[in-house]
């Protein structure tokens, strides 16, 4: 009996010890005397983050780090980056002086926080992923040390990067040396706080990639932020004390997310997909050739949507500094001005050319005044002979951007981007395109009346135009005389007709400069073209010019050499069918999937020289932009107001059943049309001719 009692007592003591150990390892706090050994962990109160020992990749070295509990590979902070531990005998302890210390098996210090305190302290892993040291038992005491002040290669919600001008502190990310080695690598991501704030990736002392200057809402080269505003909120602090950038999760319980600087120098915004149990990339930079810093040199313009041999071009008014180098595809030497600026003695005849939808150029040395209007900025730039370009410093006003950023150095690192900003480039009067002379006279200081016909804002389009500041919300494409268009189309000859539709007839034409174009005479009200001034996308046919003469309303588009997808699906020429190899079919499907259209059909999908799909009749035929199942729901990212709404003629085989039979429009209508087109592209057959593919009853 006595032996049984002793056994029970020993079992109880062992159970209590085990429970105590488990409670400790599962907690978020520890203090002196309670070490975190190789088999122990700290877990934040909400379970999001875990601290413990780990070995990265195939390495057997041991490090103390913090990672997302749902994904052990997502390590976001490492203590002993430069001094790994051999074996599993290491420990994280609190020293007699109040420092966090990582010791190896022999007791040697591998890392220390170097914080000191005369009072007992404790370390806590917060739910933000921040490891803090403060006075023991206090939740309000001043933090003596925190991991957020010593970032590794990852940026978490609530962490900040930038500079504190009062104490000289600077926070930035440093890449790992490799996937198996978290020691500091060659890349760092820091906030450039001179001029307009800009997140820059450096390799040593060389810039490799810029996110684009902060415009009051986002970094101008990362339009992807507009797609996840419901996930996070961004904050830029600009004050005499500090310039810092941070972000926070928009809503409690929102998806996990973080920014990581890879060992390759690539920056990624990752978001956790709880259903797939995997990280999804919401943004990556650099994303393409145009994100490589200074790829096109000074006064060069990069267009990632152009042919691979011509990503770079010189801005209007400039020519290659070395034509021979450019012919050899070496564009790093940039461009030089064709005509010297005319400015001095308080007078100038110079004007401004609008370069639309770009990531603003390197703004390291720009002068910034956030208190003035864009019109005042134009006047200030014009009065300063050293000013080469200007732009709005703050776009939070929407259609009325404000603030002033002025460039006096060379324009460097200028690519087209979706939702890009406007840059006003200073040129000699003779270099302003003559097709937009009214805009030039205004920018040079005289009054003008701008045309009321709007233009399309294109993603990475090589077209540039001048705009009157009297219409800051619009950008005007160059106009053409009616006579020029008549001559270009053989006076609208029947033999030059290449397409007909409910909104007009399309003619093939050739402009005086030799460019082949598609000329569309609009039959319906020109009011419907207003949609196009709100759109920009690399998969939309580019608007080049317009003409408004009496009752004539004409749009001039880029010519699509490979015509419409319909020819390759339902055409009678088998040679055309053979041109659609599987690689081209996949790229066409991917391109079409990027555009919300409402009237998708093969005849509206045109193919350029590189077989890139571009949607035609977008904006002149689609006016049901509100989901009729929810009048407050916007379609995609666009919402437009119209004085009238028009019906489209349902096309069997492509129009969704609910609209075909009941004229009931939903956001799913495009999904139906896209699915049909995808089946046609894959099968190479038109659905109406193939009853086994889709029946008449849909």
What CATH code is carried by the domain that includes residue 602?
1.10.510.10
Residues of the chain short of pLDDT 50, as ranges, are: 5-6, 8-10, 12-25, 435-476, 525-531, 533-534, 619-648, 690-698
Residue 474 forms part of a structural domain: no
Domain annotation covers residue 13? no
Q: Say if residue 606 is in the same domain as residue 532.
A: no
Whether residue 255 sits in one domain with residue 163: yes
**Sheet strands (E) in 196-288:** 198-203, 206-210, 232-238, 242-249, 257-261, 267-273, 278-285
Q: Residue 324: left (phi > 0), alpha (psi -120 to 50), or beta?
A: alpha
C-alpha 83/C-alpha 61 separation (Å) is 9
Kindly report the backbone phi and psi dihedral angles of residue 602, in degrees, each rounded to the nearest multiple of 5, phi listed first: -55, -30
> Residue 106: what are its φ and ψ, rounded to 5°?
-90, 0
Nearest to 61 by CA among 85, 89, 40: 85
Please state, in angstroms and rounded to a whole number, the distance separating the CA atoms of residues 201 and 372: 31
Domain CATH code at residue 494: 3.30.200.20
Residues 318, 433, single domain; the answer is yes
Residue pair 416/303 in contact (Cβ under 8 Å)? The answer is yes
For residues 61 and 86, is the Cβ–Cβ distance under 8 A? Answer: yes
| φ, ψ dihedrals at 340, nearest 5° | -60, 140
Same domain assignment for residues 281 and 187:
yes
Contacts for 218-222: CB closer than 8 Å, 24+ residues apart: 220/358, 220/359, 220/360, 220/417, 220/420, 220/421, 221/285, 221/291, 221/359, 221/360, 221/415, 221/417, 221/420, 222/283, 222/285
* Strand partners for 614: 606
SS3 410: coil
Is residue 9 in a domain? no
User: Closest by alpha carbon to 212, among 225, 200, 226?
Assistant: 200
Q: Name which of 553, 478, 543 is nearest 517 in CA terms.
A: 543
The answer to whether position 421 is within a domain reads yes
Q: Does a structural domain hold residue 88?
A: yes
CB 302 within 8 A of CB 415: yes
The reply to whether 143 and 159 lie within a common domain is: no
Question: Dmax over Cα atoms in the chain, in whole Å?
Answer: 116
* pLDDT value, residue 244: 98
Pinpoint the alpha helices (H) of 384-524.
Answer: 437-443, 482-488
384: exposed, middle or buried (Cβ count in 10 Å: 0-12, 13-18, 19+): middle
Per-residue confidence (pLDDT) for residue 598, from 0 to 100: 62
Q: Which of 192, 198, 530, 599 is an active site residue?
A: 599
- Residue 89 in contact with residue 107, Cβ under 8 Å? no
Q: Which residues are annotated as a binding site?
A: 520
Neighbours of 621 (CB within 10 A): 20
The whole-number pLDDT of residue 154 equals 99
Angle at alpha carbon of residue 656, lines to 652 and 659, rounded to 5°: 95
User: 455 lies in a domain?
Assistant: no
Instruction: Using only the alpha carbons of the chain, give its radius of gyration.
Output: 31
pLDDT value for 140: 60
Which secondary structure element, helix H or strand E, spans residue 518, and what is its range? strand 516-522
Domain boundary (443, 474, 502) is at 443
3-state SS assignment for residue 385: coil
CA distances from 601 to 502, 596, 677, 680 (A): 14, 12, 7, 10
Asked whether residue 114 falls in the same domain as residue 30, the answer is yes
Q: Which residues are annotated as a binding site for ATP?
A: 520
User: Are 46 and 119 part of one and the same domain?
Assistant: yes
The residues pairing with 270 across neighbouring beta strands, listed in sequence order, are 258, 281
Q: What is the helix (H) or strand (E) element at residue 63, kind and residue range?
A: strand 63-68
Is 449 within a domain?
Answer: no
Helices assigned H by DSSP within 43-123? none
Q: How far apart are CA 332 and CA 329, in angstroms?
A: 9
Q: Whole-angstrom Cα distance, residue 350 to residue 428?
A: 5
The answer to whether residues 327 and 431 belong to one domain is: yes
The residue among 380, 412, 443 that closes a domain is 443
Is residue 61 domain-shared with residue 40, that is, in the same domain? yes
Structural domains in the chain (count): 5
Question: What spatial distance separates the first Cα and last Cα of the chain, rounded to whole Å?
Answer: 83
Q: Quick one: 588 and 515 in the same domain?
A: no
What distance in Å separates the CA atoms of residue 84 and residue 79, rounded to the nearest whole number? Answer: 9
* pLDDT attached to residue 614: 86
What angle, 0 to 180 degrees and rounded to 10, lies between the N-to-C axes of helices 582-592 and 669-683?
A: 170
Does residue 694 sit within a domain? no
How many residues belong to the chain? 698
The predicted pLDDT at position 462 comes to 34
Domain co-membership, 545 together with 669: no
Residue 263 structure tokens:
């060992």
3-state helix, strand, coil in the chain (%, to 5): 20, 30, 50
Residues of 447-481 as b/e, b for ≥16 C-beta within 10 angstroms? ebebbebbbbbbbbbbbbbbbbbeebebbbbbbbe
Tokens of 467: 């705009």
pLDDT value, residue 599:
66
Q: Active site includes 40?
A: no
User: What's the order of all strands across the beta sheet hosting 131-135?
Assistant: 29-31, 121-125, 131-135, 145-146
Residue where a domain terminates, one of 513, 541, 558: 558
Structural domain harbouring 379: 314-443
Are residue 576 and residue 538 in the same domain, yes or no?
no
Tokens (6 digits) for 23: 């409670």
Evaluate if pTM is beyond 0.85.
no
């Amino acid at each position: 009996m006595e032996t049984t009692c002793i056994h029970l007592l020993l079992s109880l003591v062992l159970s209590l010890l085990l429970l105590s150990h488990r409670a400790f390892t599962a907690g978020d706090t520890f203090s002196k005397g309670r070490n975190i050994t190789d088999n122990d962990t700290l877990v934040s109160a909400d379970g999001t983050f875990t601290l413990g020992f780990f070995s990265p990749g195939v390495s057997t070295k041991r490090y103390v780090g913090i990672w997302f509990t749902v994904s052990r590979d997502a390590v976001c902070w490492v203590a002993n980056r430069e001094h790994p531990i051999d074996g599993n005998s290491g420990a994280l302890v609190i020293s007699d002086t109040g420092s966090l210390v990582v010791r190896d098996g022999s007791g040697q210090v591998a890392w220390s926080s170097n914080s000191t305190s005369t009072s007992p302290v404790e370390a806590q892993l917060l739910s933000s992923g921040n490891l803090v040291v403060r006075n023991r038992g206090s939740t309000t005491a001043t933090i003596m040390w925190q991991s957020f002040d010593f970032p590794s290669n990852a940026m978490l919600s609530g962490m900040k990067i930038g500079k504190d001008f009062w104490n000289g502190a600077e926070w930035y990310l440093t890449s790992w040396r490799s996937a198996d080695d978290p020691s500091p690598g060659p890349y760092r991501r820091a906030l450039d706080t001179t001029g307009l704030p800009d997140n820059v990736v450096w390799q040593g002392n060389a810039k490799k990639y810029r996110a684009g200057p902060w415009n009051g809402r986002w970094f101008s080269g990362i339009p992807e932020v507009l797609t996840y505003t419901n996930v996070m909120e961004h904050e830029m602090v600009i004050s005499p004390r500090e310039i810092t950038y941070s972000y926070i999760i928009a809503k409690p319980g929102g998806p996990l997310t973080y920014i990581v600087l890879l060992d390759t120098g690539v920056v990624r915004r990752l978001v956790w997909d709880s259903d797939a149990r995997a990280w999804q990339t919401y943004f990556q930079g650099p994303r393409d050739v145009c994100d490589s810093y200074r790829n096109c040199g000074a006064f060069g313009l990069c267009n990632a949507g152009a042919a691979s041999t011509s990503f770079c071009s010189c801005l209007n008014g400039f020519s290659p500094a070395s034509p021979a180098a450019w012919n050899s595809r070496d564009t790093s030497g940039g461009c030089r001005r064709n005509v010297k600026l005319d400015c001095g003695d308080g007078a100038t005849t110079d004007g401004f050319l609008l370069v639309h939808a770009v990531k603003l150029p390197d703004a390291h040395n720009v002068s910034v005044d956030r208190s003035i209007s864009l019109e005042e900025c134009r006047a200030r730039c014009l009065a300063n002979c050293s000013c080469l370009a200007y732009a709005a410093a703050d776009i939070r006003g929407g259609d009325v951007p404000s603030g002033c950023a002025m460039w006096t150095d060379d324009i460097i690192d200028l690519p087209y981007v979706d939702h890009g900003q406007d840059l006003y480039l200073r040129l000699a009067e003779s270099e302003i395109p003559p097709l937009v002379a009214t805009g030039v006279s205004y920018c040079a200081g005289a009054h003008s009346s701008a045309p009321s016909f709007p233009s399309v804002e294109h993603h990475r389009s090589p077209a540039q135009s001048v705009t009157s500041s009297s219409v800051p919300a619009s950008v005007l494409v160059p106009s053409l005389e009616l006579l020029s268009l008549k001559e270009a189309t053989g006076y609208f000859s029947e033999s030059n007709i290449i397409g007909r539709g409910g909104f007009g007839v399309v003619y093939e034409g050739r402009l005086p400069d030799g460019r082949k174009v598609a000329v569309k005479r609009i039959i319906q009200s020109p009011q419907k073209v207003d949609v196009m001034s709100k759109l920009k996308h690399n998969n939309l046919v580019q608007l080049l010019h317009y003409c408004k003469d009496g009752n004539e309303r004409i749009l001039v588009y880029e010519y699509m050499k490979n015509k419409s997808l319909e020819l390759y699906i339902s055409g009678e020429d088998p040679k055309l069918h053979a041109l659609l190899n599987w690689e081209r079919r996949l790229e066409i499907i991917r391109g079409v999937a990027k555009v919300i259209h409402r009237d998708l059909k093969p005849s509206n999908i045109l193919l350029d020289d590189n077989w890139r799909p571009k949607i035609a009749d977008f904006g002149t035929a689609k006016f049901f932009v509100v989901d009729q199942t929810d009048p407050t729901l916007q379609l995609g990212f666009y919402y437009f107001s119209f004085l009238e709404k028009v019906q489209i003629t349902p096309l069997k085989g492509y129009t969704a059943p609910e609209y075909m039979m009941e004229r009931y429009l939903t956001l799913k209508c495009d999904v139906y049309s896209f699915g049909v087109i995808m089946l046609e592209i894959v099968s190479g057959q038109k659905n109406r001719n193939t009853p086994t593919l889709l029946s008449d009853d849909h």
